[in-house]
Structure 1
Amino acid sequence: MGFIASNYYDFLTFVSTVEEINNSSELLPNLTLGFQIYDSYNNPLFTFQDAMNIFSGRGTLIPNYRCRTSGSLAAIIEGLPPEESSQISNVFRIYHYPQISYKSQNLFMSDAFKFPYFYRTVPTELHLCVGIIRLIKHFNWTWVGIIAPDDDSSMKAVEILKEGIEQNDGCTEFIEIFPHIGVLPPDKLNKIIDSINSSTASVIIFYCEREYLSNVYMRIIDIMQLPGKIWITTPEWDFELTYPLGLTVNNNTLAFTIIKKNIPSISKFIREVNPMLFPWDKSTWKWWMVLCESQCPKSIRRSCSTTMKTSFPHCNNKYLGNSYSVYNAVYSLAHALHSMIISGSRKNIPWNGGSQVSDYLPWKLHHHMKSIHFKNIMGEEIFFDEKGDFSIGYEIINSVYLYNGTVRTAIVGSYNPYALPGQDFTINEKAIEWGSGFTKVPPQTKCSQSCPPGFRKSTSNEKPVCCYDCIPCPDGEVSSQSDMDICKKCPENQWSNRKRDACIPKVIIFLSYKEPLGISLTLISIFLCFINILILGIFIKYQHTPIVKANNRSLSYVLLISLMLCFLCSLIFIGQPDKLTCILRQIAFGITFSISLSSVLAKTITVVIAFQATKPKSKLRSWMSSSVSNSIVLCCSLFQALLCLVWLCTAPPFPYQNNESEIGTIVIECNEGSIIAFYCVLGYLGLLAGISFIVAFLARNLPDTFNEAKHITFSMVVFCSVWVSFIPTYLSTRGKYMVAVEIFAILASSAGLLGCIFIPKCFVVLLKPEKNSKKYLTRYVKT
């Protein structure tokens, strides 16, 4: 593998930091650190060869055989790719040597059981995944795509991302995997582009290790030219301040990058150190020459001049490679050694090259590595957690690609799991520069549009969980927020409004005197009562005339008065029900109608008795007295009163708020209490009406000028027709209309009795007075 310019910063940082510690009078004052540096050239074979050289000495690859002339080996600081770092950890673990990585974020290596001696000064990819999920959750992005290499760590990260997105009610539209070794094949590139073009997801997560980026960099730049997409990237190529001209890369990139800082002492070292002190070749010579150019920052620009143009762009980089992580790695090891020496753990452990190395040094050092806690030169708290992961997080970078081929980056947020709750994730939306093409800022990406208040989400097994239909909430249920999974049922005394986004008090309804129906029934009742009073007045005025005296005058008065009470009792059914009116309604209705019907029955029986009494030697003449008819009325009415008394004593009617009869309303009505008693009262009235009808029907053709049987028969037909039709109508209606039906039945049946029995007589009394005389009666009988 060729020379990597940024890695040379890591080398110089390592040398500078060791020198700085050795010159310190506070840290390891009586101890000099030494080091050996191995370059594996990113070749796994060379990596294992170097690992064996570390333990046995250069040129000797015999396990457990040491051929050293230098001091004791304390730990290994490495910057290997994740896979190689994981593999050689198996070798270091045998000898209990602490392994400190300043590059590997492999999330598998957070397993303290499998990798007990592994430490790193970069955050684990697990925190990276959580940070990405927090960012997606913050912007409410629920429909995303993922592109990642096929190495084990990335595959595990993709699994964590997918699970975390789904836990936040999101889902992934597609996951595209590319090989992490070799160049991205054209057919695979085309497949990725097709997936992105055909997708409706606006957010694409490009998850890739820095080591695998060089294989796909130019290909991914091609993909990023696709419009209308937001990119969440993890590799650190966002710090490259140039990109190929002629490309129209969209300015919708948010990159998670390890927190990096430039250490002033390292910048000074690079600026002033003599390059001849280090191994020299053509590549390193070119690297140093770049630092002489005027375009280099003053912090690392060397006082030399050159006209040579090189292909190394490292001078333009914002940060000096992984210098921050290397610096913390060396200082962490130094502080662990210092702690071990102070605590007395170094007792009897020789450090000069002439003595045998103690087998206890590595694991003793490991013990102190786990508990280090110090502040670095930047004033930051440095420690390792129980898994050996470093106390550092990620910065969220917004990259803006300019037309001149440069890239402008800005820190717009951060994620640090070791920060205080509420401060671990920050994002500055105003600092993000979104590209054009979005109708809403920040852009949204959803499989389905948000369900507004008043609707709920409806998912199906055939679609992902975040793809849903919006269904209106049913009556009586509401959703006050967007994207509700279920509609909330309103309390019993409330109902959903028209938009189904709030519960409002139910409308309280009853048959009121103020509404048209109530006013109409009231006026009809009063009008019929007035007619009843008028007829009663006519009968009283003409009480001595034959037609009034016929068929028992007192019964006519009782019937008229009871009918007037029937008309008036209908008014009790109008208005808001309470405990008293509920009782009076049925009691007044039952008793007054029983008096009316018993009076009609008595009149009918009187007609029959009167006709039979005219026959010679008839024994019915003794039944012609008024006491008989009065007894019929009294007995029939008392029996009904007894039924009503039993009703009141057992289960009397009571006011009731009906929440179910009408949608969105509370109907205040009278509950009959005992439905059996209610139908017993109605049944008794029906019995009286039936008997009256049968008797009147049989006596309808009796030869009598003032025979009421025909009129009573017709009145009973009207009465029975009204109440027979009342029952199914009453049972099929709800709310105040049930009351209106009952009032109509009362008024119609009472008016039928009044009209059929008394109107013909009033017609004769007022308009045919010549027929209201004994002379006319006698003449009629003779003929």
Structure 2
Amino acid sequence: MMSTQTSSEWVWTLLQMLLVASFSQAQEPVCRHRGDAENTHLSKGGDFIIGGIFSFHSSWKDRQETYTQKPLPLECEGLNFRGFQFSQAMIFAIEEINNSTDLLPGISLGYKMYDTCSSTARSVRVALALANGNEVEFAQSNTPCTRPAQVQAIIGETSSSPCMAVATLIGSFYIPEISPFATCACLSDKTKYSSFLRTIPSDYYQSRALAQLVKHFGWTWVGAIRSNDDYGNNGMATFTETAQELGICLEYSVSFIRTDPPNKIQTITEKIKHSTSKVIVAFLSFLDLDVLMYQLSDHNLTGYQWVGVEGWIFDSQTAEIDQHHILDGAIGLAIPKAHVSGMREFILDAKPLNLSGTEMFTEFWETLFSCKFNQSNSSAENQRECTGHEDLSKLQHSFTDMSLMPIFNNVYKGVYAVAHALHNILGCNETCNYKVQLDPFMILQHLRKIHFKTKEGDEVYFNENGDPPAKYEIINWQPTEKGIVDFVTVGLYDASLPADKQLSLQNKSLIWTQNSKQIPVSVCSEKCSPGTCKVLQKGKPVCCYDCIRCAEGEMSNTTDSISCVKCPPEFWSNERRDVCVKKESEFLSYEEIMGALLTAASLFGTCMTAVVALIFFRHRKTPIVRANNSELSFLLLFSLTLCFLCSLTFIGRPSEWSCMLRHTAFGITFVLCISCVLGKTMVVLMAFRASLPGSNVMKWFGPTQQRLSVLVFTLIQVVICILWLTISPPFPFKNFKETKDKIILECALGSTLGFWAVLGYIGVLATFCFILAFLARKLPDNFNEAKFITFSMLIFCAVWITFIPAYVSSPGKFSVAVEIFAILASSFGLLICIFVPKCYIILLRPEKNSKKNMMGKGTPKAH
């Protein structure tokens, strides 16, 4: 509040408080006061004096100064009944101490109280008056310049900015200042305000509690309005910082002071009207809020959820002004309720005011009862005449309202803190030591160390910053049927508790804006459900975002997740993307149709081979069985049986043993099989050459040599397999890359070289066998087995040549199925091509199963 009047008053305040030293002929310094003296508004003598600085008026008349003459003193107006209540609470505490025999026995406390008219400049002026004894008597006489402080401590001011000015000034003199209602966190800085203490918690805790309260109800998109002074600016700065830590965004943050021009307040109204947030955090004094309420009422701006501070949340006068129910359902922090026995009755007793002086009592009484003392005839028609005996007990007025009892209690505790400090300094027991020379610094030091309980059980002490412990009640404005607001306590906040237990809400039904029982919603963007994550909108605060569905293989199981979490390798996200489920393991099993068919084919081939072996065994002495070495035929049938059975090792869940067995069994059995076929092919060729004149080649390829060749060929494959298993054997492997949502259980080859060596060796033998059989296919004989071997090798080679690209390109379990199919197809090719024609002759054409027919030569063709 810096009008022309205020600026000039600042200048004159400094000038008037200067004590100009002059020296007499005896060279003794004397001091003479310059400027107008200040008269106390309420005072009482005593052994020790406590000063009081309160706003008995809320404003002053604005005058245009000409600067050609000394400005007149402020002419205060707008009686502030809260100031009278505060002063009455201070007087009550002093009178109670004076009547006590335990505290300061035999000592009487007095008081001097001044009116500041809500002016910071005047607050400084009266503070100096309290320190220097700035009364009329002193102003009119010459006194020594060096004199002790006139008061032992000062109670007041009741707002932050005047307290900062006063504390800066009197801090140099170490005169303690105890405020019951100045909450700015900046006042905790003891390097600047060394003599300041308070009986109300710092806004540092209130601001943080306010942010936690907003977060508790899920409001992340809020508007903020603050008083443009130290109280509002510092409090809102701490709230904003804490809000950012908790993920709360401010759509707007505006400030004003009640003396701002109407167009500025109109701008704030328009900003509220066009905002999307439905919650307003108001860090305002009750005077500023009252001004704002008038403006909002003109626009009927209802439907907003207000969150308030102790400056107005439990103020009944503000509730009376809110005729349009704009603040209905407001919630905020308040000083815990207090009860001091006898204080209410004392405050409502106007006798001390009457005794203080006619002028002050007259203004107070006339304003309170809307009457006039000693009315003239001209005014008698408009107002009734005051008698001075009107009944206060039946009056419905803000002065009789005791909703500010917690603040009155703070005044009460401040006075008692001073009394306890004096009690300790004077060494009071049954009597006090009057000889102790009191010093402001000594009183300040003892004040910082006091620790006592009031008669109501309230614990009073100050921390290293001069602040009391921070405790708040959470208040909810609940309108009643009579139109009166009921301030209901719905929770508590205790800063001394662990962080997760500081805020506690009771199980009481809360009333919200427009008498709703549903918690209002105030967010820039709706919550992102599980399965989605937040993506910030460009150029907007972090509370404004879009919800994007998590990608495949990612999940989010919390609301408003900032990112999606990638599932572990063995897990995959479900359809809703809100949980990772274990991937389905995929392998060729016996239960599925493809596995069952392949198993059936394998068993069928095994049985078919067994039937052929049985037929051959029963007809083992017939020429067709004995031809081409029946021993090789039975060994071939045995190896074919193993070939059919080894395909079963490829079916089922891969294990360490099955992975090593399947490839080695396949490689060895097929080499055994091809070795037998190769032996039979060589027998055909050798037999033809043995029939030529002068040939004795059969002696080099008899049964022993045939067995040895099969053994050697097979042992080579066995050595390859042993080396493979020793160096880098196959092992079970979980393939996560083949498919996204499944785990392919397969057998890793280990050494790829070992696998292709086994397969290549089979290919070499098969190719060699095919070439020999192809050369022997047209040898003259009634039953030339080389023809069938050639065809079987043709099928064998065709199957395995097509197997390679099919195996490489087949995904997952289908690659295993391709390998099994190749094994079965080549086995069936050998079985059918070599043995079925013989079985046909044995069973259906027995007449051809004779030695004569087998040895018959075809007629040679002419060349």
Question: Could you say which TM-score interval applies, normalised by the shorter chain?
Answer: 0.7 to 0.9
Q: Which moved more, 1:660-669 or 1:152-161?
A: 660-669
CA distance in 1, matches of 2:143, 2:538: 63
Deviation at 1:224, TM superposition (A): 7.7
- Is 1:115 matched up with 2:193? yes
CA distance in 2, matches of 1:394, 1:224: 31
Distance change in 2, residues 1:39/1:380 (3 Å): same
Match of 1:394 in 2: 472
* 2:411 equivalent among 326, 341, 347: 326
Match of 1:52 in 2: 128
CA distance in 2, matches of 1:469, 1:65: 76
Matched residue SS, 1:26: coil
Deviation at 1:164, TM superposition (A): 1.1
Match of 1:641 in 2: 718
Contact 1:562 1:592 survives alignment (8 Å): yes
Distance change in 2, residues 1:237/1:203 (3 Å): closer
Q: Which amino acid aligns with 2:411?
A: V
- Number of equivalences: 761
Match of 2:706 in 1: 629
CA distance in 2, matches of 1:115, 1:228: 38
Distance change in 2, residues 1:308/1:464 (3 Å): closer
Contact 2:781 2:855 survives alignment (8 Å): no
CA distance in 1, matches of 2:355, 2:754: 115
- Is 1:341 matched up with 2:426? yes
Contact 1:55 1:66 survives alignment (8 Å): no
Contact 1:9 1:323 survives alignment (8 Å): yes
Instruction: Report the TM-score when normalising by structure 1.
Output: 0.86
CA distance in 1, matches of 2:272, 2:529: 30
- Is 1:448 matched up with 2:525? yes
Match of 2:40 in 1: none
Q: Which moved more, 1:102-111 or 1:174-183?
A: 174-183
CA distance in 2, matches of 1:329, 1:437: 39
Distance change in 2, residues 1:23/1:84 (3 Å): same
Matched residue SS, 1:528: helix
CA distance in 1, matches of 2:91, 2:393: 27
Distance change in 2, residues 1:370/1:446 (3 Å): same
- Is 1:286 matched up with 2:366? yes
Deviation at 1:153, TM superposition (A): 4.1
Q: Which moved more, 1:639-648 or 1:536-545?
A: 536-545
Higher relative contact order at CA 8 Å, sep ≥6: structure 1 or structure 2? 1
Q: Which amino acid aligns with 1:754?
A: L
Match of 2:229 in 1: 151
Contact 1:6 1:321 survives alignment (8 Å): no
CA distance in 1, matches of 2:502, 2:601: 78
Deviation at 1:284, TM superposition (A): 0.8
CA distance in 2, matches of 1:308, 1:22: 27
* 1:254 equivalent among 291, 314, 331: 331
Q: Which moved more, 1:499-508 or 1:361-370?
A: 499-508
CA distance in 2, matches of 1:361, 1:330: 18
Contact 2:200 2:467 survives alignment (8 Å): yes
Deviation at 1:65, TM superposition (A): 7.8
Q: Which amino acid aligns with 1:284?
A: F
Distance change in 2, residues 1:745/1:469 (3 Å): farther
Contact 1:448 1:467 survives alignment (8 Å): yes
Q: Which amino acid aligns with 1:128?
A: Q
- Is 1:519 matched up with 2:599? no
Matched residue SS, 1:448: coil
Match of 2:283 in 1: 207
Contact 2:335 2:472 survives alignment (8 Å): yes
Deviation at 1:436, TM superposition (A): 5.6
Within-5 A mapping of 1:410-559: 410-418=488-496, 424-435=502-513, 441-459=518-536, 462-472=539-549, 479-485=556-562, 499-502=576-579, 507=584, 510-543=587-620, 547-559=624-636
* 1:586 equivalent among 663, 669, 690: 663
Q: Which moved more, 1:210-219 or 1:680-689?
A: 210-219
Within-5 A mapping of 1:639-718: 639-655=716-732, 669-718=746-795
Q: Which amino acid aligns with 2:760?
A: G
- Is 1:33 matched up with 2:109? yes
CA distance in 1, matches of 2:679, 2:599: 31
Contact 1:290 1:312 survives alignment (8 Å): no
* 2:87 equivalent among 2, 7, 11: 11
Q: Which moved more, 1:464-473 or 1:116-125?
A: 464-473
Contact 1:458 1:468 survives alignment (8 Å): yes
Q: Which amino acid aligns with 1:277?
A: L
Match of 1:383 in 2: 461
Contact 1:183 1:215 survives alignment (8 Å): no
Q: Deviations over 1:360-391 (max 9, x none)?
A: 70100010010111111321101111101123
Distance change in 2, residues 1:394/1:581 (3 Å): closer
CA distance in 1, matches of 2:261, 2:253: 12
Contact 1:202 1:445 survives alignment (8 Å): yes
Match of 1:225 in 2: 301
Match of 1:130 in 2: 208
Q: Which amino acid aligns with 1:34?
A: G
* 1:239 equivalent among 315, 321, 326: 315
Deviation at 1:427, TM superposition (A): 1.7
Q: Which moved more, 1:521-530 or 1:409-418?
A: 409-418
Q: Which amino acid aligns with 2:324?
A: L
- Is 1:172 matched up with 2:249? yes
Matched residue SS, 1:145: strand
CA distance in 1, matches of 2:180, 2:116: 16
CA distance in 2, matches of 1:303, 1:342: 45
CA distance in 1, matches of 2:496, 2:358: 42
Q: Deviations over 1:523-558 (max 9, x none)?
A: 111111222223333444555555545544433332
Matched residue SS, 1:431: coil
Q: Which amino acid aligns with 2:199?
A: T
CA distance in 1, matches of 2:392, 2:579: 75
Matched residue SS, 1:536: helix
Where do 5+ consecutive residues of structure 1 fail to align? Answer: 292-301, 352-357
Where do 5+ consecutive residues of structure 2 fail to align? Answer: 1-58, 60-77, 372-386
Deviation at 1:735, TM superposition (A): 5.0
Identity in percent: 35
* 2:160 equivalent among 79, 82, 97: 82
Distance change in 2, residues 1:392/1:640 (3 Å): closer
* 2:642 equivalent among 556, 565, 569: 565
Contact 2:532 2:550 survives alignment (8 Å): yes
Distance change in 2, residues 1:702/1:265 (3 Å): same
CA distance in 1, matches of 2:286, 2:814: 78
Q: Which amino acid aligns with 2:446?
A: H
CA distance in 2, matches of 1:700, 1:731: 34
Q: Deviations over 1:435-462 (max 9, x none)?
A: 4697x84344333333444444455675
Matched residue SS, 1:382: strand
CA distance in 2, matches of 1:290, 1:12: 21
Instruction: Report the TM-score when normalising by structure 2.
Output: 0.78
Deviation at 1:637, TM superposition (A): 1.1
CA distance in 2, matches of 1:522, 1:641: 26
Deviation at 1:429, TM superposition (A): 4.6
CA distance in 2, matches of 1:639, 1:348: 118
- Is 1:371 matched up with 2:456? no
